[in-house]
Chains A and B, each alone.
Chain A
Amino acid sequence: MNMIEATNIYKKFNQLEVLKGISLQVKKGEVIAIIGPSGSGKSTFLRCLNHLEIIDKGSITIEGEMMAKMDSAGNSHYQSPSEVRRICKKMGMVFQGFNLFPHKTVLGNIIEAPMVVNKMDRRQAVSIAEELLQKVGLIDKRDSYPSQLSGGQKQRVAIARALAMRPDIMLFDEPTSALDPELTGEVLKVMKDLAEEHMTMLVVTHEMGFARGVANRVIFMDDGKIIEEGEPQEIFSNPSHPRTKAFLNQIL
């Protein structure tokens, strides 16, 4: 069973067609890097997967459960809001801008969803949070507020916050793009650790080192389509499509 099965996804913003028939299957434990020029629809695609955007056409299935299905004309129909929410809980998301809750401490950020969404009791939520803070190396920041953290620390808290819901899939939308170069390493390290634990990951990134070193598969998107995909070596050393070549030349 595939973890994610997205079929023929189309998405428009008003008149602007942003996704033009994207299909992707993700297997358990796969780490997929999504690369491509800015504006090509990478974020939109990721956001469609966990219902932050509504697709117009196509279907999305998460771990065998249909979240949006396609009718004979190809148009999408979503399950009920509560079903969609239940299915989306299998995915955690990390944003470029962190989106931590500024009025809550680091610990408060992490225990929030387990307590409010899963009705977990506080003691258990705190013990999970502490274990995760240990893992991302921020246990000493337990009682700090987000405003007291560096960008790299914020992003590690955001990762811990997402992991606290025990997702099977993690979506990362340019997790290091808002960071000073010297802070990207600590975040990439946490992501690499996750990959080594066989977390299923979709990572939109400009970090070619990460795509090359950690991903099992690289997807190149341009103009709302997947232009090329393959193993990192293949894509980086021997891209077959001229647009992939042009993009890699520009960025490497």
Chain B
Amino acid sequence: MLYELYLSKLMGPILYLSKIMGPMLEGTIVTLQLFFVTIIFSIPLGLTLALARISKFKILKDFTGVYIWLLRGTPLLLQLFFIYFGLPYIPIVGVTLDRFPAAAITFILNYAAYFAEIFRAGIQSIDKGQYEASKALGMTYWQTMRRIILPQMVKRVLPPVSNETITLVKDTALVYAIGLSELLRAAKVAVQRDFTTVPFMIAAVFYLVMTLVLTWVFKKLEQKYALYE
């Protein structure tokens, strides 16, 4: 009898946890999907923008400058609203996107702008003697970029890129605002339904685990690149 009471006391929280864990894990999957899609596309796009930003073609350079200024100069949430709610009202191009594509496109475009600035600064921090030595050896601009400059840039941008990816994990919570069922939304639904703050704490733990993993990955990368210099 006592034992059974004890057991039910213990089982209560466990049962509750197992009940909310499902939706929260589903939310986490959406969060992770958004995270990875953003990383996979915004890094190459950011690199392309960075190269355009330092190119000698003035139009390309100015165009990317304006792009970066717009995307870094306005709130991510506004951009998200614009793509999801605003785009349908725009004549001709007006398209209605589903929640996830709208969120992914916004995040990719926005993070590409941040990565572009990080990469540009990284590229420009490389000593110009590296370009001269490459040129004196007969290498073209693109050979120099690919073989000499960009590999050195990677090492230098690891710390800021690490920061940016951690920010991204947390920024994914913004898509809550367009009703996408990601981690934070799953937590809030449970909190409001069950009158308990436990789901918020679980969400916090999930975010912390994700950022912890990222921190570890970047630490390993930095160690790998510490081989030289």
A interface, CB within 8 angstroms of B: 50-52, 85, 88-89, 91-93, 95, 97, 99-104, 112-113, 116-118, 145-147, 158, 161-162, 165
Contact = CB atoms under 8 A, between A and B. Distances in A.
Given A99-B129, A103-B151, A103-B152, A50 B227 contact: no
B137 interface: yes
B125 interface: no
B147 interface: yes
Interface in B190-227: 227
Contact of B229 (A102, A112, A117): A102
A88 to B, nearest CB: 7
Interface residues of B, number: 20
Contacts of B55: none
27 contacts: A52-B135, A85-B138, A85-B140, A88-B138, A91-B136, A92-B137, A97-B129, A101-B133, A101-B148, A101-B152, A103-B151, A103-B152, A103-B228, A104-B228, A112-B147, A112-B148, A113-B138, A116-B143, A116-B147, A117-B138, A117-B139, A117-B143, A118-B138, A145-B228, A146-B228, A158-B133, A161-B137
A165 B148 CA distance: 17
Nearest to B151: A103
B155 interface: yes
A114 to B, nearest CB: 9
A104 B132 CA distance: 16
A100 B148 CA distance: 10
Contacts, number: 63
A102 B152 contact: yes
B126 to A, nearest CB: 10
Contacts of A93: 133, 136
A145 B155 CA distance: 15
Contacts of A89: 138
A113 B132 CA distance: 13
B96 interface: no
Interface pairs A-B: 8 shortest CB-CB: A99-B133, A113-B137, A99-B129, A93-B136, A117-B138, A145-B228, A89-B138, A103-B151
Contact of B139 (A97, A103, A116): A116
Interface string B127-171: 101101101111110010001100110010000000000000000
A92 B137 CA distance: 7
B202 to A, nearest CB: 43
A101 B130 contact: yes
B140 to A, nearest CB: 7
B115 to A, nearest CB: 21
A158 B132 CA distance: 13
Contacts of A101: 130, 133, 148, 152
